[in-house]
Structure 1
């Protein structure tokens, strides 16, 4: 038995490859993954290489798949990395892959070669239950927990990852939890001010204000039970509902207080989970989100350029002009041909 990832063309119609400076059309509706017990879950796309990554819920293996050729290769071995499962995942601006460990209760970050940079034991740190999905926004990465009413986060702008923190702990009155999978997929609003979280078992959708951590339910015309991966495109939120085999568009109002769930779409989807897209649609990364060393190098280069090509020539001109003293300088200015 082989496992396939299905890409609905309404979501992933084409990918961009920086190395080729032209569009790489996705000709395939599905990609064959190695092994018969892979059970893929999370997915992340690297625009610079034209490769997407997906992880196994059973082995923790992560494979890299070329979107043009469909060739899949092992990117990171779960056994070697001490990873029992690879659930939600995201790539950051430094080409590091962040991985959620599910019920194994860990978070890992890998370098571009698949090596583990750091592992956080979220069970020991926060008594977590099921680290499920993640989203990067404004220099931080946020993680949902499907069994414990918490959201974790850490910074992604530093060269070396910082400490993980229990960023938000909420009550059952704010977001009711039940049996099964609760908080699952997580996204950010286009303005980067709020987090969107879907609760799988109840089908409810919530928004969390990043500035003050305020929590509000988004009123929907119908529940989105089995909601899994989320993806925003303007005021449309796409929700992958794994038990339905469909992806549902939710049109959100301007204040994200309500949304209209439209008709689901998708063909040959079985247990569809997370969603990704070409990074060209993602919000531009701010310069302040670059690592400090990058900002210092750019600043130093700019100052050096101004010094060599502007300040030094100006100083040389004034030295030459004042070589004979101020009297000679002003006499030269009074010369008709000066």
Structure 2
């Protein structure tokens, strides 16, 4: 693994999340930064997923378990970080009903699932292991890719159309029954094919950050959740043409560049309008990682292996690297 960065004092997540917010600090990314959540040195830094699973998204909640969605058939797999062992805990809806991005809520009661090219947004109940909400959004030619949770909503990206989706969530964590569409404007540019990808919030919680693979050769965009107006985040000379999942820890943003087999780490200002690249993580075990989630001092990434033809015998795994 290679790192090249200027070391600075990291801000605590509590300081980074202080003050009034629009989207709020109640997200899995900030929660995973707890210093008390330190994995044992004996925990595996690499473990297998089922052959043919085709992972894309990962989420980790308040307990040391990682959840993965399958592009093959929409299954959800849960693995114990201490051992690497796991099993399918939620049955998918079958072929062409994939799960791309996914996030677990604060209470660890529900999973919010992005349905990819099925154009579906789903909510799964962890206790009953059933899909309790299933929304068909947009029209043919859309792709629901990634998701982030905020106190009042789950936000989803569409990789093929210039819009986000908002599913309201009430104070008790109950998801709503209608999904709203937010058109993207401002400096947003939509390519002829795949454009939007990962999504998270700004450190101050007032806006959303979304990967755009088209603007200036690959950029991070700051989106006003009220208007949809997007502005490019100043990242110096850094481009993210293969940007995928986003992981925000305090003010440090981890940007997974999947086919480049690396993770860019950027220190953002509070408002998310600009950031300074501070590290690049590479690892010989990376095989097109797509998304990232944190537990303690580790970052976990599933290898999606988009560079090979998938089949029922294709092997997949998860690797862990140290946080910056």
Superposition TM-score tier, normalisation by shorter sequence: 0.7 to 0.9
> Aligned to 2:250, which of 231, 234, 238?
234
How many residues align structurally?
Answer: 261
> Aligned to 2:266, which of 236, 240, 250?
250
In terms of fraction of residues, the more helix-rich structure is 1
Structure 1 residues 259 and 69, CA gap change in structure 2 (3 angstroms): same
Structure 1 residues 123 and 225, CA gap change in structure 2 (3 angstroms): same
**8 Å contact kept, 2:100–2:114:** yes
Aligned to 2:287: 270
TM-superposed deviation, 1:222: 2.2
Structure 1 segment 303-322 matched on structure 2, within 5 A: none
TM-superposed deviation, 1:44: 0.9
Give RMSD over aligned pairs: 2.9
Aligned to 2:135: 120
Cα distance in structure 2, aligned partners of 1:51 and 1:181: 31
Q: Residue 243 of structure 1: SS of its match in structure 2?
A: helix
Structure 1 residues 250 and 159, CA gap change in structure 2 (3 angstroms): closer
TM-score by length of 1: 0.70
Deviations along 1:145-175, one digit per CA (max 9) or x if unpaired, are: 000111001122355421333341024x631
Deviations along 1:14-57, one digit per CA (max 9) or x if unpaired, are: x899xxx975426211121112x212100111323x21110111
Structure 1 residues 92 and 280, CA gap change in structure 2 (3 angstroms): farther
Structure 1 residues 69 and 280, CA gap change in structure 2 (3 angstroms): closer
Aligned to 2:123: 109
Cα distance in structure 2, aligned partners of 1:22 and 1:187: 22
Give structure 2 stretches of 5+ with no counterpart.
Answer: 4-28, 299-324
Structure 1 segment 162-241 matched on structure 2, within 5 A: 162-171=176-185, 174-201=187-214, 202-220=217-235, 221-241=237-257
> Aligned to 1:41, which of 36, 53, 56?
56
Give structure 1 stretches of 5+ with no counterpart.
Answer: 1-5, 282-338
Aligned to 2:302: none
**8 Å contact kept, 2:163–2:184:** yes
Structure 1 segment 280-319 matched on structure 2, within 5 A: none
**8 Å contact kept, 1:150–1:166:** no
Q: Which structure: larger Rg?
A: 1
Aligned to 2:156: 143
> Aligned to 1:99, which of 102, 113, 116?
113
